[in-house]
Structure formats: C-alpha cells, structure tokens
Structure 1
Amino acid sequence: MHIPTLVTALTFGPAVLAAQLKQISNYNNNAQAKPGMWVYVPDSVKSDALVVAIHSCQSSAQSYFQNSKIPWHQGSDRKGYVTVWPSSTSQCWDVSSKASLTHNGGGDSNAIANMIKYAITTYNIDPKKVYITGGSSGAMMSNVLAATYPDLITAVSLYSGVPAGCFVSSSGQSAAWNNTCSGGQSISTAQHWGDVVRGMYPSYNGTRPRMQIWHGSVDGTLSPNNYNETIKQWTNVFGVSMTPTSTKPDTPERNYRMDDFGPNVEGIWAVGVGHSVPSHLDASEAWFGL
C-alpha cells in the first residue's frame, strides 16, 4: 500500500488562502479627516466590482473584517471582488458635522470618497460597480455617502441606520450623538428628507445610487421610526410613492418583509430583530448585482 508523503499531502490538500486585510498608508487623501484605509484583495480576483464595508461604533476595520456576522470577506473570496474597509479615528463615524455632510467638505465622507477613487485606479475597478454597506454608524455613513457622493456609488445596502442628515449637529461637532434622531423623534415629511439629501450636493443632477434599507422592529439603539423616515427620504429622492410596488413576506427569511418601491428603493423590515440586523450576504449581493 502506498502511503502519501507529507509533500504529497500538502500538494494535493485544501488550498490555503494567502489573501490578507492590508492597510493602505497613503490613499491620496486630501480631506482634513484621516480615517484609515484597509483593503482585502482575494487570491482570485474574478470581478471588477468594489464593496466598501463600513464598521459600526466602537469598532475598526480589523474588528469588522473579523466579525463572523459581517461576511463580506467570505463573499469576496467566493465571487472575487475587492473590498475596502474604512477605519474611523473616533468611536463613531462623523455623520454630524457640515464638513462630512457636504460634498468635498473635508470630513469622514470626503476621506472615504478618496478611498473609493484610490481603489478604482489601483485595482482596476469599474466605476459603475462601486457598492457601499455598513451597520449602525456605518449604515448612517452609507446614507451620507449616498447623499454626498452619488457620482461615485452604484448601490447601497445599509443595516440599522438613520436618514442622511438626521444626526446633524447644531454645534458643528463631528461624530456627535443626537438623542432626538436616535430616539426616533426626528419625524418630518418626505419632501424635507429629500431636500436634505439634495442639499448635500446641490449642483448634482445625475444618477442616484439604488438604496436597500434594513431595520429591526425592536431596535433599542436607533429607533425603528428611523426606518420609515429613511424610506420617506429615498422614495422622495427617486420621486416614487411610499406605497410598495411589491411586498414579499418572510423574505429573505422568516419574519422579515421585503418591500420594493420601484426598482431603486427596497426596504427590509425585520420583525422581532433588535440592533443591529445581521448582514444578509446573498440578499445584499443580489441588490448589488454581484
């Protein structure tokens, strides 16, 4: 009987992935804000798409990458797309200051936009295949990026956030907490919320990113009221009704409901789920077209 040698076993055994999360020390960032940029390039690049995964409060690029509930690097390995992982220099992302809520204003959103531009050039990304996702504070930043840099982003899938501009700070403080918004008391008209988005990049009249919005019905950190306000915001931006064009119960899993508001806005309401809704890789990838 032939007994395989160690060399044979190693040669024909399971492939070991060499790809690692790596920091980019210089991503041509001219913004005042200086969050870190981390990139994961899979061993086999099979796609010219880019996914930007934005972490929650009190986290980092490394922690978010290693979180078993955040499966984007597994998706990267499986489908061969590059992922960028921004890392905040404060506990939460700045979704409060005028700098971050303004196109090319110099805040965190500006810095992440610079990461996207760097990645497009460096990794041969198709500019029409740039996708953003994030949870909690990362979801808030995803909304802000959709408003401030719609020219760079194709689609967004955000988990447990608030409308863009809801966390605005009257004092101009960056990364400020807004109890009124988090508590679900920032209730306004769809027109107002749409105007907030348009006001972040007033000269822009091009295509807007397609928006997929997830929220749990018993979220105790960012009130479930923020789900409805976010739907108001983006249906107004796209000029469509808040009455769903289609509804799918128990999708993508039991006790979740998926509502489409035309082709560009989709809401997923997770009954009994708190903060934050776990990432659903397949559903988010499907929204992105990956």
Structure 2
Amino acid sequence: MKSGIVSIKAVLLLLCAWLAAGNAFAQSSTGHWDFGLYGNLFGSREYQVWVPAGYEQSKPLPVLLVLHGCVNGPNLMGEASGFNDVADVEGFIVVYPRQNVTANPTRCWNWQLPINQARGSGEASILAGIVDAVKTGYAVDPRRVYVTGISAGGAMTSIMLACYSDVFAAGAIHSGGMYKGATTVSGSAYALLAGSIYSPESNGKLAWQCSGSPSPRLLPVLVFHGSADATVNPVNGQQAVRQFLQTNDLADDGLDNDSVKYVPTSTVAGQVPGGRSYTVKNYSYGGRTLVQDYLVHGMGHAWSGSTSGLPFTDPQGPDATLITWLFLKDQLR
C-alpha cells in the first residue's frame, strides 16, 4: 500500500508547490516550441520540442518522448496532456514526433507491422533517431530519458521500451497494449476488440530479446487504462503489465525463474473528489515499484484527468500527467 499512497501524496505536494510559487512562475519566462525533422533509410518524421522555461545549455535536463494517438499530433497532444506546463515547472524537455499522413491516413503509429517492432528498423528506428537528435541539439541527461504515449502511441511506447532499454530509463503506456500484441493489420483489429491472441509471457521474452543491449536492465513501467475503454479493450493493459513483468523477470538475472512475479505487492483504491474511482496495483522488486497499474473505473478511451475539453480526454479521472511524471522522474538508466 505504501507505494500507491506515496504517489498520491506526491501529486498533492506538487500541486501545492505550484500554487505557492504561482506568482514567481507567472513572472518568469515561459517555455517555447522548436521544430525539427529527422530521417533515415526508413523515412522521415517531423517533431516538435518543448524547451522549458529557464532552460540553460549548461544544465542537462531529462527528456520525455510523447507519442500521440490516431488523428492527433504534437500540438493537440501537448494541450490534452498538459506535459508542457509540468515541464516548465519541473524542468524537463518534451519531444513530440508527428506521424505522417502518408505513412498512415489517420496518423496512427503502425505498431502492428513487424518492420516497426524491431530495433534499428522502421518507425522505431526513426523515433530513436529523433531522441538522438535531441540529445545532440540540447543539454540532456542521458540517464533520464523517458517515453510515454496513448492508444497507438501507447502500443508504440511498448516497442520503444522493449527494443531500446539502453535508451529509456522508464516509460508509461496509456490505453495501449503490450509489445507485439499484433503482427498484422487484421490481428491489430482483433487485439483492440478482445485483446492479443499472443501470450504475454512469450511476448515478454521477445521484448527482452529485442533490446540489443549487452545486458538488458530492469525497466520500470506505468500502465494506465480505463475500465470502459471500447476502443482498446482493457485486457490490453493487463497484458502489457504481464508482458513487462516477464521481460523484467528475464532482465534481472537472465533466467525465466519467476523472480519478478505477476502478483501485486500492494493494491490501493483511490477516488477523485467528485470524479472517478480507480485502483492501483503495485509490483515491487528489490525495494522499488517496478510496474504500476492504474485502472480508472468507468473511463473510456481517454487521457485521464485532462481538463482541456479535447476529444479523448476525461477530466473526472486521476491526473495521468502528474502521475506519469512522478513515476518517471526519479528513474535512472
């Protein structure tokens, strides 16, 4: 129970800090957008970088790669999530790649295609290249690079965590699915409707094998899903939890020996005042929370806690943006 309570308290403390320092923040400079383009043999993608208020070239900052969902893009994703506001206060760089309409007519990341599910290949290689470009162009702490995304971006987040554990210190999957939850377009349609046909344990091993790191490491992962999600069946979130627990079971000692177990070490019930209830399952290993699973009761396919009024957001849920950052910020690669 301790891990979940600490997270909730941390959210409240951070909110209080914002209110107390409001006048100072209002008087200080705000962050700004930079724009970039990265390409390799597999194509090119535009991206936008939110450079936070007070950025200094002499002070390396964490980086958060944020992957939008379908029919979306950097500006809407930034507004819906509110990560830029958090970045201005907390001091981190936010990177928003944009999917090309030529690659997918609805701007979904093509997470279900095998070419994009491997290290150094397809869209995964482009996204990794964007991260490298940001590391070159800005003052970045390479130990504190993170990734998150929603829906198709959430499924793509699983790929980046699986295949680039040497790049990302941790990640958060919102309304997405596990690594290789589907390997065909028709298979992805079924997975969205009813969950993947593949075993999370088998895919956990595939994720471990994809890393390419000489010594794959334990990878903290946050999973966020609504219990009433009719676009991405909530079972996909459960499968992502199981898959990354299996991946971590292999990563801790190279053996499939259940050293990291699919049994929560604590379960916490929460309630947003006047809003939705939620359940948090914590899976701890080695004295820290390795996987954290948020299920928001009654929420559909949405970014939880967003007050932007944009589609695919739900203001009644817990603040997924603050919860995500608080989970990620202290993780080191």
Q: TM-score, normalised by structure 2?
A: 0.74
Q: Residues 143-154 of structure 1 correspond to what in structure 2 (within 5 A)? A: 143-154=158-169
SS of the aligned residue for 1:157 comes to strand
Match of 1:244, as an amino acid?
A: P
Unmatched 5+ residue regions in structure 2? 1-23, 250-259, 305-318
SS of the aligned residue for 1:178 comes to helix
SS of the aligned residue for 2:72 comes to coil
The aligned length equals: 269
Task: Identify the range of structure 1 (186-195 vs 150-159) with the bigger mean alpha-carbon deviation.
Answer: 186-195
Residues 180 and 47 from structure 1, CA distance in 2 versus in 1: closer, same or farther, beyond 3 angstroms? same
2:68 corresponds to which residue?
Answer: 55
Correspondence 1:74 to 2:106? no
Alpha-carbon shift at residue 47 of structure 1 (Å) = 6.0
SS of the aligned residue for 1:49 comes to strand
SS of the aligned residue for 1:126 comes to strand
What per-residue deviation string (whole Å, max 9, x for no partner) do you get for residues 212-270 of structure 1?
00111110000011121111101111121111011111167751111111121111111
Pick aligned residue for 1:215 from 214, 222, 225 = 225
CA contact (8 A) 2:32 2:53 kept: no
Q: Percent identity?
A: 21
Residues 252 and 229 from structure 1, CA distance in 2 versus in 1: closer, same or farther, beyond 3 angstroms? farther
Pick aligned residue for 2:296 from 270, 278, 289 = 270
Alpha-carbon shift at residue 138 of structure 1 (Å) = 1.1
Correspondence 1:84 to 2:98? no
2:54 corresponds to which residue?
Answer: 44
Q: Residues 6-45 of structure 1 correspond to what in structure 2 (within 5 A)? A: 14-15=26-27, 17=29, 19-25=31-37, 27=38, 29-45=39-55
Alpha-carbon shift at residue 280 of structure 1 (Å) = 1.6
1:180 corresponds to which residue?
Answer: 190
CA contact (8 A) 1:53 1:132 kept: yes
Correspondence 1:104 to 2:120? yes
CA contact (8 A) 1:216 1:274 kept: yes
CA distance in 2, matches of 1:18, 1:276: 28
1:6 corresponds to which residue?
Answer: none
What per-residue deviation string (whole Å, max 9, x for no partner) do you get for residues 82-122 of structure 1?
111110013200212222101001x1111110111111222
Alpha-carbon shift at residue 151 of structure 1 (Å) = 0.8
SS of the aligned residue for 2:294 comes to strand
CA distance in 1, matches of 2:283, 2:97: 30
1:138 corresponds to which residue?
Answer: 153
Correspondence 1:237 to 2:247? yes
Pick aligned residue for 2:216 from 202, 206, 221 = 206
Higher helix content, 1 or 2: 2
CA contact (8 A) 1:31 1:110 kept: no
CA contact (8 A) 1:101 1:109 kept: yes
2:4 corresponds to which residue?
Answer: none
Correspondence 1:227 to 2:237? yes
CA contact (8 A) 2:117 2:124 kept: yes
Task: Identify the range of structure 1 (58-67 vs 265-274) with the bigger mean alpha-carbon deviation.
Answer: 58-67
Correspondence 1:246 to 2:259? no
Correspondence 1:116 to 2:152? no
SS of the aligned residue for 1:256 comes to strand
SS of the aligned residue for 1:235 comes to helix
Q: Write out the 4+ residue segments of structure 1 that deviate beyond 6 Å after TM superposition.
A: none
Task: Identify the range of structure 1 (227-236 vs 185-194) with the bigger mean alpha-carbon deviation.
Answer: 185-194
Alpha-carbon shift at residue 190 of structure 1 (Å) = 3.7
Higher strand content, 1 or 2: 2
What per-residue deviation string (whole Å, max 9, x for no partner) do you get for residues 39-94 of structure 1?
01023127610111111101111221233xx1100011111211111100132002
- Root-mean-square deviation (CA), in Å? 2.4
SS of the aligned residue for 2:136 comes to helix
Match of 1:224, as an amino acid?
A: P
Q: TM-score, normalised by structure 1?
A: 0.85
What per-residue deviation string (whole Å, max 9, x for no partner) do you get for residues 133-162 of structure 1?
111111111111001111100111121001
Alpha-carbon shift at residue 18 of structure 1 (Å) = 5.0
SS of the aligned residue for 2:223 comes to strand
CA distance in 2, matches of 1:134, 1:252: 23
Unmatched 5+ residue regions in structure 1? 1-11
CA distance in 2, matches of 1:165, 1:149: 15
CA distance in 2, matches of 1:227, 1:221: 12
CA contact (8 A) 1:56 1:138 kept: yes
Task: Identify the range of structure 1 (271-280 vs 78-87) with the bigger mean alpha-carbon deviation.
Answer: 271-280
SS of the aligned residue for 2:114 comes to coil
Correspondence 1:282 to 2:304? no
Alpha-carbon shift at residue 283 of structure 1 (Å) = 1.2
